[in-house]
Amino acid sequence: MMAGGPSMRTPIHGLVDREERLASADLPLATLNVRAGGRTGGKLVVPQLAGLVRLVRRLGVVVSRGVTIADGDRDLDLWVRAAPEGDAVALAIVGWTETQSRQPFAGPDGERMRDFGRGAADWRWTVDAHLRLTRLDPPQDGAVGQPLARTFVLRAGADGTVPMIEAMAAGNAFGDQLAHPAGDPARTLRLSGQPLAATDGSFAGFEGVAGFVDEDDGDPPIPADGDTGFGPRLGAALRAPIDRIITQADAIRGADAELQPDYVEYAGDIANAGRHLLDLVDDLVDLQAIESMEFRARSEAIDLADIARRAAGLLAVRAERSGVRIDAPGPDDLLPARGEFGRGLQILVNLIGNAVRYSPPGGTIWIRGERDAHAARIVVADQGKGIAAEDQDRVFDKFERVDPTEPGGTGLGLYISRRLARAMGGDILLDSEPGDGARFILVLPTE
């Protein structure tokens, strides 16, 4: 714990405004932001906190999670609660704990261990040298600070050994530890992890992922030598420097000092290119997940009308800036369906976002619900230039865009959205004529 610094009983508060500026902050948070390259009253530039703020803005809900932030030669382990407050996001941080910097453990040849990621994960976790959880994402009440085995009950292998314990003794990575959630022995998990080292080279714990598996499916495919796939860890590694580039470019563009117009324009181009790269990173991580043999979408009772209203709300500011009006379902409209809430929101944000992008100024986007005995449908209709019949199948292909010369996304959004819809037992349909706009229809089962 930092000597004389914040403790578990002293929350550290901050407020991030709609322009992503750290409008107010207690001294430890303000100091951390300055050390990360920000300035007093400027953008929040700590990547882990900035990413959490963007997630809360996108979902419009409170999010609490543990994060680890590298701060010079030390790591800060924080528990952060981020909550929407009007146009701002309020941060409350507890458990501000300082530890020695943890780095991937070096093998005898001095080379870093390879990334252990094997695609999508249901949990990401970190344990200390005594196998106590120091981080669990998504969190579970009371898990952090307790032995890992109270959350994930480890199973011995066919030879009677426990792979994680063997890896701990040897200082190695592991990828084949079977377990089950505490209290749910019928479900099987596979844990993968790599060791962490303190600055003096001693063993400092493991960081890893845990995902549900079907024991009848056998082992997941192991990437070819040197090819670890575009998994969540690689995506996280790329987000931090790209976030920094965007932050610095925005700071240049909004600097108080007089700048030549060309420099301001260059900074804007850099920031926009950085945001495009972040979109691509997110899409590639999703692509890695949905094309994994282990990917499954949940089937739960959801309200598509409510999800459509939330998606429209997330895009309201973008639509207003583009001079486009979104006509969403009314507050009393209901459209029961079966699917996964988060994935449904992801699909509709993509469909409505595309409609905003391709609608002319002054245009309207209509979002309407329909239902029959077996399916619920959300229709997203725009007044754009439409899509020719010969292009309508192609827009759902990977990296395909009807007109690559137009500003647009990564060419993965519709491919990922259709894969997600089909994983939930539904589909995405398209009805369009050149010059007459487009109607994208999300279809999900009702039972």
DSSP for 395-441, please give it: GGSTT--S-TTSS---S-HHHHHHHHHHHTT-EEEEEE-TTS-EEEE
Q: C-alpha angle with apex 126: 114 to 204, nearest 5 degrees?
A: 75
Q: What is the DSSP letter of 216?
A: G
Tokens of 130: 């005594």
pLDDT score recorded for residue 217 = 42
Q: Which of 76, 101, 126 is the last residue of a domain?
A: 101
Q: How many domains does the chain have?
A: 4
Residues 204/130, Cβ–Cβ less than 8 Å: no
Q: Are residues 435 and 321 in the same domain?
A: yes
CATH number for the domain spanning 111: value is 3.30.450.20
Bridge partner list, 43? 21
Residue 295 belongs to a domain: no
Residue 3 belongs to a domain: no
Q: Are residues 381 and 417 in the same domain?
A: yes
Domain containing residue 309:
300-445
With a cut of 90, say whether residue 373 has pLDDT above it.
no
* φ, ψ for residue 46, nearest 5 deg: -70, 110
Q: Which of 101, 127, 144 is the last residue of a domain?
A: 101
Q: 165-218: per-residue pLDDT in tens?
A: 888 877 777 777 888 888 777 788 888 887 887 666 677 888 888 877 754 444
Q: Are residues 339 and 264 in the same domain?
A: no
- Range in 193-197, 223-227, 417-421 with the lowest mean pLDDT: 223-227
**Quick one: which H or E segment has residue 266?**
helix 261-290
In angstroms, rounded to a whole number, what is the distance separating the alpha carbons of residues 47 and 19?
15
Q: Are residues 343 and 429 in the same domain?
A: yes
Residue 410 belongs to a domain: yes
pLDDT score recorded for residue 35 = 79
Q: Are residues 364 and 438 in the same domain?
A: yes
- Range in 80-89, 115-124, 369-378 with the lowest mean pLDDT: 115-124
Which is higher by pLDDT, 195 or 337? Answer: 337
In angstroms, rounded to a whole number, what is the distance separating the alpha carbons of residues 73 and 429?
52
The owner of tokens 């292009």 is: 391
Q: Are residues 167 and 93 in the same domain?
A: no
In angstroms, rounded to a whole number, what is the distance separating the alpha carbons of residues 23 and 44?
9
- Range in 80-94, 166-180, 315-329 with the lowest mean pLDDT: 166-180
Residue 209 belongs to a domain: yes
Q: Are residues 286 and 243 in the same domain?
A: yes
Q: Are residues 331 and 381 in the same domain?
A: yes
In angstroms, rounded to a whole number, what is the distance separating the alpha carbons of residues 141 and 121?
19
Average pLDDT of the residues of the chain: 77
With a cut of 50, say whether residue 225 has pLDDT above it.
no
Q: Terminal CA-to-CA distance of the chain, rounded, Å?
A: 52
CA nearest neighbour of 278 among 51, 88, 116? 51
CATH number for the domain spanning 421: value is 3.30.565.10
Bridge partner list, 77? 68, 97
Which is higher by pLDDT, 446 or 252? Answer: 446
Residue 40 belongs to a domain: yes
pLDDT score recorded for residue 134 = 86
Q: What is the mean pLDDT of residues 9-28?
A: 86
Q: Are residues 340 and 359 in the same domain?
A: yes
The owner of tokens 């969540």 is: 232
With a cut of 50, say whether residue 109 has pLDDT above it.
no
Residue 222 belongs to a domain: no
In angstroms, rounded to a whole number, what is the distance separating the alpha carbons of residues 283 and 223?
20
Q: Are residues 358 and 419 in the same domain?
A: yes
Q: Are residues 137 and 183 in the same domain?
A: yes
Q: Are residues 434 and 352 in the same domain?
A: yes
How does residue 292 score in pLDDT terms, banded at 50, 70 and 90?
A: low
Residue 223 belongs to a domain: no
How does residue 63 score in pLDDT terms, banded at 50, 70 and 90?
A: confident
With a cut of 80, say whether residue 349 has pLDDT above it.
yes
Q: Which of 217, 250, 267 is the last residue of a domain?
A: 217
Residue 224 belongs to a domain: no
- Range in 76-80, 84-88, 156-160, 177-181 with the lowest mean pLDDT: 156-160
pTM: 0.46
